[in-house]
């Protein structure tokens, strides 16, 4: 039965989280992400979940990590200034392999910047915001329905892989209201983490398994476990033994390489035979999609590559998508972040052009179309 409703991007993130089985939200509201917290405060009690507003973003991220260590699906949401504060405990979750989902609705920055205006300036912070070599997954919905489905995918990935997942949205998409049919979007099944079920004796919380994902000890099941932000051995205790330290760190990052096919997700629109391929995320991708339609109507062969999984960047898929193209264009609402990754992958084989906007307004289809005509 059709269940057509007008839903906001932020609210869709919250409903997606509930559909994915999230039962804990630790938050500290901040524009333009506050509606995620608002919706979770309303929805979580209905499913027996827990909503807690902490004293700040650092504590809220700590609460999320703690809840997840307790065995439940947990999330938080924030925007630039709060995302900066969450990085410390996010790094702990990366190191200790604690599943969690963080929605970051990007606004103008740096610092408090422009609270109600959109930006895409956290592309690199989402990847490298916390220190050290660390695994992380970043997803980029570009519509209200994708806010719903990608938040569900974020939970599925974080639970399966024990890697924190960022849902990276810009203010336009977070505050956009679109008509969606929830019945079309809700999955039949969702995924939970693999809990330990081996004998308690000799259990190692960071055991090296074939899939590189250690089974998670459920509190109360009797497993002895030690969790730390220090580099640790399979038994969970710290080590500075060079071989053991390297092996431990390498496993957490190699894990993403091993499970690349599960993580990677992109949309290709008219890339086959395109003279120019646009690479874009979020609202910039929606503008690019319209520009592709408009330009194709004028006989200009242009395509769109949209990495819904932004990090790890879908390298081989992009390289295949630009076969035969003469140039690549990266429109983004920052001074040039994703373009750096695209330039790295093109490695001088194709010219990579940038279209940047940092005035608090979204990039428009006509701006993209004009740039395409200029560089082709």
Please give the residue ranges that form the binding site for another protein (CB under 8 A): 4-6, 31, 115-116, 143, 145, 172, 175-179, 283, 286-287, 289-290, 293, 362, 364-366
Closest distance between another protein and the C-beta of residue 118, in Å? 10
Specify the residue, 75 or 172, whose C-beta has the smaller distance to another protein.
Answer: 172
Q: What distance in Å separates the CA atoms of residue 83 and residue 254, rounded to the nearest whole number?
A: 26
Closest distance between another protein and the C-beta of residue 246, in Å? 47
Q: What distance in Å separates the CA atoms of residue 168 and residue 77, rounded to the nearest whole number?
A: 10
Specify the residue, 5 or 72, whose C-beta has the smaller distance to another protein.
Answer: 5
Closest distance between another protein and the C-beta of residue 82, in Å? 16
Closest distance between another protein and the C-beta of residue 180, in Å? 8
Specify the residue, 99 or 121, whose C-beta has the smaller distance to another protein.
Answer: 121
Specify the residue, 66 or 115, whose C-beta has the smaller distance to another protein.
Answer: 115
Token readout for 83 is 């995302």
Q: Mapping DSSP to helix (H, G, I), strand (E, B) and coil, where does residue 346 land?
A: helix
Specify the residue, 104 or 143, whose C-beta has the smaller distance to another protein.
Answer: 143
Closest distance between another protein and the C-beta of residue 23, in Å? 30
Specify the residue, 290 or 356, whose C-beta has the smaller distance to another protein.
Answer: 290
Length of the chain: 376
| DSSP per-residue letters across 74-142 | EEEEE-HHHHHHHHHHHHHHHHHT---EEEEEEEE-STT-EEEEE--TTHHHHHHSSSSS---EEE---
Q: Give the DSSP H or E segment for 187.
A: none
Distances (CA, A) of 170 to 56, 180, 239, 358: 22, 19, 40, 13
Residue 106 CA to its chain's centroid (Å): 12
Specify the residue, 269 or 339, whose C-beta has the smaller distance to another protein.
Answer: 269
Token readout for 343 is 């330039």
Closest distance between another protein and the C-beta of residue 13, in Å? 17
Specify the residue, 101 or 288, whose C-beta has the smaller distance to another protein.
Answer: 288
Closest distance between another protein and the C-beta of residue 176, in Å? 5
Closest distance between another protein and the C-beta of residue 21, in Å? 27
Q: Which of 56, 14, 15 is nearest to 36 (CA)?
A: 14
Token readout for 18 is 């509930």
Closest distance between another protein and the C-beta of residue 364, in Å? 7
Q: What distance in Å separates the CA atoms of residue 337 and residue 300, rounded to the nearest whole number?
A: 27
Token readout for 344 is 């790295």
Exposure letters 120-130 (e unless 16+ CB within 10 A, then b): bbbbebbbebb
Specify the residue, 269 or 321, whose C-beta has the smaller distance to another protein.
Answer: 269
Task: Supply φ then ψ for residue 82, to 5 degrees.
Answer: -75, -35
Q: Under 8 Å CB-to-CB from 65, ≥6 apart: which residues?
A: 74, 89, 92, 93, 96, 98, 100
Specify the residue, 103 or 288, whose C-beta has the smaller distance to another protein.
Answer: 288
Closest distance between another protein and the C-beta of residue 138, in Å? 22
Q: What distance in Å separates the CA atoms of residue 107 and residue 87, rounded to the nearest whole number?
A: 17
């Amino acid at each position: 039965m059709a269940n057509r409703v007008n839903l906001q991007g932020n609210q869709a993130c919250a409903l997606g989280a509930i559909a994915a089985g999230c039962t804990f939200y630790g938050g500290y509201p901040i524009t333009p992400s506050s509606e995620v917290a608002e919706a979770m405060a309303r929805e979580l009690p209905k499913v027996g979940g827990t909503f807690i507003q902490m004293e700040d973003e650092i504590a809220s991220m700590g609460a999320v990590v703690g809840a997840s260590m307790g065995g439940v699906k947990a999330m938080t949401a924030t925007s630039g200034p709060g995302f900066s504060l969450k990085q410390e405990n996010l790094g702990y979750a990366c190191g200790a392999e604690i599943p969690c989902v963080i929605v970051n609705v990007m606004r103008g920055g740096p610092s408090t910047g422009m609270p109600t205006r959109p930006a895409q300036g956290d592309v690199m912070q989402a990847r490298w915001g916390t220190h050290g070599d660390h695994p992380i997954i970043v997803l980029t919905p570009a519509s209200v329905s994708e806010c719903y489905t990608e938040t569900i995918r974020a939970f599925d990935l974080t639970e399966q892989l024990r890697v924190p997942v960022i849902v990276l949205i810009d203010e336009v998409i977070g505050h956009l209201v679109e008509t969606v049919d929830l019945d079309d979007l809700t999955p039949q099944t969702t995924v939970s983490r693999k809990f330990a079920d081996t004998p308690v004796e000799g259990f190692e919380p960071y055991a090296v398994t074939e899939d590189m994902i250690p089974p998670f000890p459920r509190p109360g099941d009797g497993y002895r476990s030690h969790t730390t932000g220090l580099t640790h051995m399979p038994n969970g205790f710290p080590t500075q033994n060079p071989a053991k330290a390297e092996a431990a760190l390498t496993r957490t990052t190699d894990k993403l390489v091993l499970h690349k096919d599960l993580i990677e997700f992109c949309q290709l629109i008219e890339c086959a035979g395109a003279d120019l391929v646009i690479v874009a995320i979020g609202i910039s991708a929606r503008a690019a999609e319209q520009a592709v339609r408009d330009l194709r109507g004028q006989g200009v062969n242009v395509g769109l590559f949209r990495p819904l999984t932004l990090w790890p960047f879908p390298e081989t898929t992009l390289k295949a998508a630009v076969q035969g193209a003469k140039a690549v264009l990266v429109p983004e609402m920052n001074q040039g972040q994703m373009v750096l990754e695209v330039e790295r992958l093109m490695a001088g084989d194709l010219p990579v052009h940038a279209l940047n906007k940092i005035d608090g307004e979204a990039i428009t289809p006509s701006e993209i179309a004009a740039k395409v005509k200029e560089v082709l």
